[in-house]
Every structure is written in structure tokens, then in C-alpha cells.
């Protein structure tokens, strides 16, 4: 897991306030945490310098722009240095691939794509097989209908509970080149100032500010989040796939309601052709802590849960929610 860092209450408050609003100004953050502006700014820079936070990104609601959320889980044979280099080139060179992770367990990697159609996803799969089929042991593709983002509830007592559903949408909102330039700029660093976006894009600062506000109002930008290196906080990031005996929809609804309020759970995922009926992501302090969580669920919902599988996230490789190229 590497070096573990201790965060005091002020640091944990900063992470909690930036969790869904990473563009919060230093002045506002200082006021909320009881720090001076200089101290708040220093603490953010320290979190970045120590690698506890690897950056900040905007959550782009790409389904509202006409995109479909698709995933590929992959298990490889042992990769040579040249094969790892080729894989890295594929990940960072593919503009449709917006999220990539290395995993521990039955799969080695998770790649997430924005596509305009399932035919496009089929083409991505075909291309992937051509490039890496010879070194692939197992591969699983699925289409996601809703990813529920949940605020971290583990940093402070009684945090503000927030959620956002990144789900399939019948509504398609059109954006223009100005919107796209702004979102591309924010994708590199969600805390970048309006003036910096203006300088980079050539768009007047007043227009940048106005357009960002409109993108937020339309929920095209759903929020701004930190990329947290959980291992440096002594936490393990798990993905769990549950299979159910769905005889009673009310019991499933109670199960999801329980997950939504649980302090460990940070994502809930619905979709088609997934390894389970539902998958979730959670943070645990140890393997024992994780298995106690599973035991708690099985005891509460003994008739619903038939079995489960789990993976461990070992590294965030790529995050770029911008889905237009």
C-alpha cells in the first residue's frame, strides 16, 4: 500500500468540501474550515505534493450529450515491457477512453469509454482484440445505464450527503465549440481559474464564467471532484459485484437505499451484461473491515444476495471525462 499519511481534521474537512465542489475558491474553503486563506491554499498544495490528491476533474454528464457509458474488464497474460508500453500508448491515445484503472483480482484492468452507439462500442472491442487479443486471457464488456456518484462520508462526522446520477438520458443537449473548449480546459485541472481558461482558449473571461455557470445549471457539468489516492490514507478501494434472487423488488429497493446511506459506499452502478446484477465501490480500512461489511449486507438481506465477487482498484491510470474529440 506504500506510505500512509495522517490527515488532521482540517485536511479531512478540505477533502470533504472539495468532494463535489473542487472549484470552491480558497476564500470560501477557508471560511468553511476556519482556516486563513494562506493556510487553506498551503494545505491543498500539500495534499497534491504528497500525492494524496492526484488532481481535480469535472464530472461531465455525457449521457446528456448523447453518449453511452461502456466498460471493458481485461485479464492479460504476463506483459512484457514493450507490451505494457503499447497498452499505455493505447490508453492515453484513445480519446473515447475516459477512465482507466489497474485492478487486483480476476481482472487486471478496467477501461471505460464514451460512445455514440453500441455499434461504435463493437468497433472498439474489435480494435482491442486486434491489438491485444493474443495476450488476453479473459475480457468482459458491459453497458452501463446509471453510475451513482456518492460523496465520501468517511472524512468527517455528519458530512453533507450528495449524489449525482450519471444515467442514460433521452434528452440530448447541444453544445458549441466554445463550451467544448472550456470543458476540455477544465478536464485538465478543474481548479483552474476563469482567467487561466480564458488565456488558454482565447475566450473572454466573462464569457468563460457565464458559460461555466450555464453548463452547471443544465447539469452538463455535474460537479468537480478530486482524484484521491486512497492507499496513502490507509484505505483500500473495492469493487463488488452482487447477484440477486429478485423475487421482491421492494427488498432490492431497500438494499439500494441502505447502500446509498452507508459510510463506506462511494459508487453504485446499474447496467447490462455486468458480472453481477449490480456493482458498487467502497472504501475499507482492511480486509477484515471489508468482509465485515459484506457480512453486514448478507445478514440484513439474506434472501436477496445469492453471491458476490470483488476486485481491488490498485491505481487510477487515466481520468478525462471530456467525451468529444
Query: In the predicted model, what is the mean pLDDT of the chain?
Result: 95
**pLDDT tens-place string over residues 165-197:** 999 988 899 999 999 999 999 999 999 999 999
CATH number at residue 198: 1.10.10.10
**pLDDT tens-place string over residues 73-105:** 999 999 999 999 999 999 999 999 999 999 999
Give the number of domains in the chain: 2
Same domain, 193 and 239: no
Assess if residue 33 is contained within a domain: no
Same domain, 240 and 301: yes
Assess if residue 132 is contained within a domain: no
**pLDDT tens-place string over residues 4-48:** 899 999 999 999 999 999 999 999 999 999 999 999 999 999 999
Same domain, 153 and 257: yes
**CB-based contacts of 166, cutoff 8 Å, min separation 6:** 59, 61, 62, 63, 69, 146, 147, 148, 149, 222
Q: Does pLDDT of 3 surpass 80?
A: no
Other residues' Cβ atoms within 10 Å of the Cβ of residue 192: 16
Same domain, 156 and 212: no
Q: Can you read off the three cell numbers belonging to residue 45? A: 498544495
Q: Does pLDDT of 325 surpass 60?
A: no
Q: Which domain holds residue 179?
A: 174-217
**pLDDT tens-place string over residues 223-245:** 999 999 999 999 999 999 999 99
- Separation in Å, CA 280 to CA 76, 214, 242, 294: 24, 31, 8, 12
Amino acid at each position: 500500500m506504500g506510505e500512509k499519511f495522517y490527515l488532521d481534521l482540517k485536511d479531512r474537512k478540505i477533502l470533504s468540501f472539495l468532494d463535489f465542489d473542487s472549484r470552491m475558491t480558497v476564500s470560501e474553503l477557508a471560511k468553511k474550515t476556519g482556516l486563513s486563506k494562506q493556510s487553506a491554499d498551503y494545505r491543498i498544495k500539500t495534499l497534491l505534493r504528497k500525492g494524496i490528491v492526484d488532481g481535480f476533474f469535472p464530472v461531465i454528464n455525457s449521457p446528456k450529450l448523447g453518449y453511452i457509458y461502456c466498460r471493458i474488464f481485461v485479464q492479460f497474460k504476463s506483459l512484457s515491457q514493450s507490451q505494457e508500453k503499447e497498452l499505455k500508448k493505447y490508453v492515453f491515445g484513445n480519446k473515447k477512453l475516459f477512465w482507466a484503472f489497474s485492478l487486483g483480482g480476476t481482472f487486471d484492468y478496467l477501461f471505460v469509454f464514451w460512445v455514440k452507439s453500441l455499434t461504435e462500442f463493437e468497433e472498439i472491442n474489435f480494435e482491442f482484440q486486434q491489438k491485444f487479443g493474443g495476450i488476453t486471457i479473459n475480457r468482459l464488456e458491459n453497458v452501463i445505464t446509471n453510475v451513482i456518484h456518492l460523496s465520501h462520508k468517511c472524512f468527517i462526522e455528519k458530512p453533507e450527503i450528495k449524489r449525482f446520477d450519471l444515467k442514460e438520458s433521452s434528452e440530448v443537449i447541444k453544445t458549441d465549440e466554445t463550451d467544448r473548449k472550456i470543458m476540455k480546459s477544465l478536464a485538465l485541472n478543474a481548479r483552474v481559474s476563469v482567467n487561466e481558461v480564458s488565456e488558454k482558449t482565447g475566450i473572454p473571461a466573462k464569457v468563460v464564467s457565464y458559460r461555466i455557470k450555464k453548463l452547471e445549471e443544465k447539469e452538463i457539468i455535474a460537479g468537480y471532484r478530486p482524484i484521491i489516492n486512497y492507499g496513502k490514507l490507509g484505505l483500500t478501494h473495492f469493487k463488488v459485484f452482487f447477484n440477486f434472487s429478485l423475487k421482491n423488488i421492494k427488498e432490492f429497493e431497500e438494499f439500494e437505499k441502505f447502500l446509498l446511506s452507508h459510510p463506506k459506499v462511494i459508487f453504485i452502478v446499474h447496467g447490462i451484461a455486468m458480472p453481477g446484477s449490480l456493482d458498487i465501490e467502497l472504501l475499507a480500512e482492511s480486509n477484515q473491515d471489508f468482509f465485515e461489511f459484506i457480512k453486514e449486507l448478507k445478514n440484513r438481506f439474506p434472501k436477496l444476495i445469492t453471491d458476490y465477487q470483488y476486485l481491488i482498484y490498485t491505481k487510477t491510470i487515466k481520468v478525462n471525462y471530456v467525451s468529444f474529440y
